[in-house]
Structure 1
């Protein structure tokens, strides 16, 4: 005897239990990253790290703000640079001067953010079409 449950999606509005669903306002959360044979080489975490390096002028301060060790932050940057074949950050001057993004680092950061924003926008539009509630993007929450 073969047993299976009905896997058809529920009809919203079909039951009284679903009637108050439009009171919800969920946040769309996406995990998007780029990976190659060496594993992950760019994602939202690296975007945030590059942003903080640019803002702080320091890899140490950026990693502290993100709650990660300097060594972990350095490793993530170096892994991405190895895969891409160019530098994302460079020293601002002397050893104590800190770091800033290279032109290529800014470009990778900005292009990833552009891609992420477009995918998030599309996901939100599809969610609004499918679900009986209005969703929010992560930045709106």
Structure 2
């Protein structure tokens, strides 16, 4: 037996604001320097990837991705420091919640499983 946990952040209207999908898009943009390549790498079309970025930027009221068109060396897409900070915070939250979930699951189910088995045999 094992526990699975998925972490995401919603607004007060239950709209998805941030989670593993948006984090992965941002991570891919950071690695590839391209929204199109990032979208392709996560199996999403460009328009949807750009939409995810815009929703998040609108909610936090700050730029996350800076784009520069052209073929110059500095063209393409780059993450802002705010985007990198947001990704880092989400990763920390996600890891903390999963770590706690694993610990608590073990306490409630796995550590007690042998006690439950012993009790049922004594009945």
TM-score by length of 2: 0.79
CA distance in 2, matches of 1:95, 1:74: 18
Q: CA deviation at 1:132?
A: 2.2
**SS of structure 2 residue aligned to 1:117:** helix
RMSD: 1.7
Cα deviations across residues 29-60 of structure 1 (Å, max 9, x unaligned)? 22211111471111111111111110111111
| C-alpha distance in 2 between matches for 1:95 and 1:119 | 42
Asked if structure 2 preserves the Cα contact closer than 8 Å seen for 1:89 and 1:105, the reply is: yes
Which residue matches 1:59?
35
Q: Which has the higher helix share?
A: 2
Displacement over 6 Å in runs of 4+ = none
Higher relative contact order (CA 8 A, sep 6+): 1
CA distance in 2, matches of 1:85, 1:94: 23
* Structure 1: gaps spanning 5 or more residues: 1-23, 134-141
Q: Structure 1 residues 90 and 38, CA, compared in 2 at 3 Å: closer, same or farther? A: farther
Q: Provide the aligned length of Structure 1 versus Structure 2.
A: 107
Alignment-derived partner of residue 82 in structure 1: 58
How far residue 63 of structure 1 moved from its aligned partner, in angstroms, is 0.5
SS at match of 2:62: coil
Kept in 2: contact 1:77–1:88 (CA 8 A): yes
User: Which of 59, 69, 72 is residue 94 of structure 1 equivalent to?
Assistant: 69
Unaligned runs of 5+ in 2: 112-123
Asked whether the equivalents of residues 53 and 100 of structure 1 are also in contact (C-alpha less than 8 Å), the reply is yes
